[in-house]
Chains A and B, each alone.
Chain A
Amino acid sequence: MSTLLAIRDLRVAFPSAEGEVRAVDGVDLDVQAGECLAVVGESGSGKSQLFHAVMSVLPGNARASGSASLAGKELLGRSAREANRVRGAEIAMIFQDPMSSLTPHLTIGRQIGEVLEQHRGLGRAAAQGRALELLERVHIGAAAERLRQYPHELSGGMRQRAMIAMALACEPALVIADEPTTALDVTIQAQLLELFRELRKSRDRALILITHDLGTVAGLADRVAVMYAGRIVELADVESAFARPQHPYTAGLLQAVPRLDAAVDGELRGIPGQPPLHRGAAPGCAFVSRCSVALTRCATDDPSLQQASGRGAVACHNPIHGDRS
């Protein structure tokens, strides 16, 4: 496999009254062509900001530094016009709320058509023909009719399908989906998860799935990156991450999820404390105050992401070894 997206020392900071807030605090990450990488974390982990930086869609007051290169082409620090050329054509993004990313006063057909006209130079008729094919590919029924409808006339599930069709319009090498099913009902989530799995079968593009839902990760991802307080704390293939988590935070997250196949009478094992809103100025590991296996050095000495046994990596002075029972 070849590296499609290479992220190096990526940082995102926001000014605030109490000083600079480090939302993303030095992330290195390689995404391979064709793979599905899940980026998991709770609120404040920086998982969305990291990829908003890659897509150049950060709010105006954010400062991004470091590097993110797609097939050798640097994405950070481009002009708005250059960024626009890459977005949609080479990388596409799917957001949690399709209503806020679709244009309310344009029909679905116009919106998908515009992407094709702008990036692929298709004529209007050809673009509409292609848009129809795309809607059929994401299993939108009565596709010809849907092309003429406005976003508000579609249900939440249909809008998200239309968003996926638009993301696929230019056959980008990388699709980034930010909580694509979170806002939907459970049966619709299951339908969309099935659609993603079907679209993944050809493995002709990479998918980055940003989510807090470990169930979605298990069914879709090849690899998992776990983020906490702006950093990657564990990176592993999906089987290892679930069966043998090495970071105490990963293990804690897995235990906190209520499962249909678990004993029901015991308590759920949550993680004490709250996820930090952002990385503080304190030295040491950001997870130390919530960690049950913290060592003395964890409070003073910040662990970096190190290659661990197998192909994974973990940022922890006292990682968990062996199988989780």
Chain B
Amino acid sequence: MNRPPSADSAGVLSVTQLSVTYPVRRGWLRRPADLLALKDVSFELRAGETLGIVGESGCGKSTLARAILQLVAPSAGSVSWLGQPVNPESREQLRALRAGMQIVFQDPLASLDPRMAVLDIVAEPLREHRRELSAEQRAQLVAAMLSRVGLSPEVMRRFPHEFSGGQCQRIGIARALVLEPRLLVCDEPVSALDVSVQAQIVNLLRRLQREMGLSMLFISHNLAVVRHLSQRVLVLYLGRVMELAPRDALFEAPRHPYTRALLDAIPLPDPVRAREREVNPVRGEVPSPIDPPGGCVFHTRCNWAQARCVSEEPLFEPVTDAHRVACWRWQEIAAARAEAE
């Protein structure tokens, strides 16, 4: 169980017990099954805050983004935006919501329409949400936003295929920010980029967030990048929250064995220390979300698992006020670690 934290009036976004299921057909003779892509996820996002969301494939991180943006319907739970519960039936509210939250996708080139010039791509949200603007006013806003993301306004007449991956991602960011949204959802925005360019985009996002007072959900499998951008981090595994913690607590004293496994899995870019480090990667693979393990979903890969972990789903327990973990044995593990060190 993942209990909702107390409501915070400064919250931009509040997600309460959110669950999403997808129907899955398993061959024509078998009954369709439900794939529980997300189960009981709760968190608050404050104004100007970045929450990192990490996990491996199938953990539900993209589903979470879609459910918040109301692109998939939750099967249970709710989303509140600026203190108001979102009613997916209200078209007016959805319009306001979609103007206020924008998304940047992983594949920069695929997310831009190849037949549209940069001007039209970046101006598209303005045409939809700010119909009072003239074409000239739109072009002015687009030019200003392009220079803000580090592109010359001269690129407005050019087409996506003329740009590199990093430049396409800048165009995608300009499109997402042209309406000056409150919330930016970044779904693996630097994963497809070269390392030298990835750093530029990470720095750009950090700068824009400060300048525009944006709240950000930063979804990534790369914990080192998440650490650079986030104030808090949410760790997902098979659609469940394993741990939610302030950045430094998560990276210096992770409480969930899965968080620890993710951190240990990152190879050190240092040959001397990489050779000294004892590597003991977590065993096995992520089980099928159609048939997830009972009890704690991580128990099949966890070295600490015992009978209770197999039979009972852990509570989402507070470690401190701001730090929560879903593990029956987190206190024992912390004590054992303290002793070992």
Chain B residues 171-219 with CB under 8 Å of chain A are: 194-200, 202-203, 206
Q: Is the CB of A256 within 8 A of B196?
A: yes
Residues of B within 8 A of A268 (CB): 199, 202-203, 228
Report the separation of the CA atoms of residues A197 and B281 in the bound assembly, to the nearest whole angstrom: 13
Q: Closest CB of chain A to B200's CB: distance in Å?
A: 4
8 Å CB interface, A124-144 against B: none
B225 within 8 A of A: yes
Q: Bound state CA distance, A289 and B317, in angstroms?
A: 53
Contact mask for chain A residues 151-188; partner B; CB cutoff 8 A; 1 contact, 0 none: 00001011000000000000000000000000001111
Q: Count residues of chain A with CB under 8 A from any CB of chain B.
A: 48
Looking across the interface, which residue of chain A has its beta carbon closest to that of B55?
A185
Quick check: B225 and A258 within 8 Å, CB to CB? yes
Please tell me if the beta carbons of B200 and A187 are within 8 angstroms of each other in the complex: no
Q: Are A42 and B227 in contact (CB under 8 A)?
A: no
User: Per-residue 0/1 for B260-280: is the Cβ within 8 Å of any A Cβ (1 yes, 0 no)?
Assistant: 011111111111101100010
B251 at the A/B interface (Cβ < 8 Å)?
Answer: yes
Q: Does B166 contact A (CB under 8 A)?
A: yes
Query: Within 8 Å CB of A290, what residues of B?
Result: 196
A261: chain B residues at CB < 8 Å are 268
List residues 259-308 of chain A with CB under 8 A from any CB of chain B: 259-261, 264, 267-272, 274-275, 277, 290
Q: How far is the CB of A253 from chain B (nearest CB, A)?
A: 6
A185 to B284, CA, bound (A): 12
Q: In chain B, residues 96-115, which have Cβ atoms closer than 8 Å to a Cβ of chain A?
A: none
Q: Which of A11-19, A98-106, A208-216 contacts B (4 or more CB under 8 A)?
A: A208-216
Chain A residues numbered 184-212 whose CB sits less than 8 Å from any CB in chain B: 185-191, 193-194, 197, 212
Residues B270 and A218 in contact, CB atoms below 8 Å apart: yes
Q: A213 to B265, alpha carbons, bound, how many Å?
A: 13
User: Which of the listed residues B194, B263, B271 has the most CB atoms from chain A within 10 Å of its own CB?
Assistant: B271
In the complex where A257-B269, A271-B196, A274-B164 touch, is A187 in contact with B281 (Cβ < 8 A)? yes
A186 to B279, CA, bound (A): 13
With A and B bound together, what is the CA distance between A268 and B221 in angstroms? Answer: 18
Task: Across the interface, name the chain A residue whose C-beta is closest to B201.
Answer: A270
**Do A185 and B247 form a contact, CB below 8 Å, given A190-B281, A260-B227, A268-B199?**
no
Q: Are B199 and A215 in contact (CB-based, < 8 A)?
A: no
- The residue that B196 contacts in the complex, of A216, A219, A253, A264, with Cβ under 8 A, is A253
Q: Quick one: closest A residue to B264, CB to CB?
A: A190
Contact partners of A275 in chain B: CB under 8 A: 164, 194, 196-197
B70 close to chain A: CB less than 8 A: no
B139 to chain A, nearest CB (A): 26
CB–CB A194/B224 < 8 A:
no
B interface: dominant SS = helix
Is A254's beta carbon under 8 Å from chain B? yes
Tell me whether A190 and B224 are in contact in the complex, defined as CB-CB below 8 angstroms, given that A238-B271, A267-B206, A270-B203 are known contacts. no
Residues of the B chain whose Cβ atoms lie less than 8 Å from the Cβ of A77: none
Contact A190 B269 (CB under 8 A): no
List of B residues within 8 angstroms of A197 by Cβ: 279
- Per the CB 8 Å criterion, the residue count for chain B at the interface is 45
Q: Assuming the A-B contacts A259-B224, A274-B164, A275-B194, are A187 and B268 also in contact, with contact meaning beta carbons closer than 8 angstroms in the complex?
A: no
Partner of B57, one of A185, A267, A271: A185
Residue in contact with B198 in the complex, picked from A194, A215, A270, CB distance below 8 Å: A270
Closest B-chain residue to A252, C-beta based?
B196
Q: A150 within 8 Å of B by Cβ?
A: no
Contacts of B267 in A (CB 8 A): 189-190, 193, 213, 215-216, 218-219
B286 at interface (Cβ–Cβ under 8 A)?
Answer: yes
Asked whether B199 lies within 8 Å of A270 as measured between CB atoms, the reply is yes
Nearest neighbor of A237 in chain B, beta-carbon distance? B271
A239 located at the interface, meaning its Cβ lies under 8 Å from any Cβ of chain B in the complex: yes
Q: Write out the residue numbers on chain A whose beta carbons fall within 8 Å of the beta carbon of B227.
A: 258, 260, 264
Q: Is the CB of A253 within 8 A of B195?
A: yes
Pick from A186, A256, A271: contact of B265, CB under 8 Å:
A186
Q: Which residues of A contact B38 (CB under 8 A)?
A: none
CA distance A215 to B195 in the complex (A): 12
Interchain CB contact under 8 A, B247 and A187: no
Contact status of A254 and B269, CB under 8 A, knowing A187-B262, A218-B274, A274-B197:
yes
Q: Separation in Å of the B170 CB from the closest CB of chain A? A: 11
Q: Which B residues are in CB contact (< 8 Å) with A272?
A: 200
Tell yes or no: B56 within 8 A of A by CB: yes
Most chain B beta-carbon neighbours within 10 Å: one of A188, A217, A252, A253: A188
The answer, yes or no, to whether A43 is at the interface (CB within 8 Å) is: yes
Does B223 reach chain A (CB closer than 8 Å)? yes
Q: Is the beta-carbon distance between B202 and A187 smaller than 8 angstroms?
A: no
Query: Chain A interface (Cβ within 8 Å of chain B)?
Result: 42-43, 155, 157-158, 185-191, 193-194, 197, 212-219, 221, 238-239, 242-243, 252-254, 256-261, 264, 267-272, 274-275, 277, 290
Interface pairs A-B: 5 shortest CB-CB? A270-B199, A215-B267, A190-B265, A268-B199, A271-B196
13 contacts between A and B (CB under 8 A): A186-B223, A186-B266, A188-B285, A190-B279, A194-B279, A215-B269, A218-B268, A219-B271, A253-B195, A270-B197, A274-B166, A274-B167, A274-B197
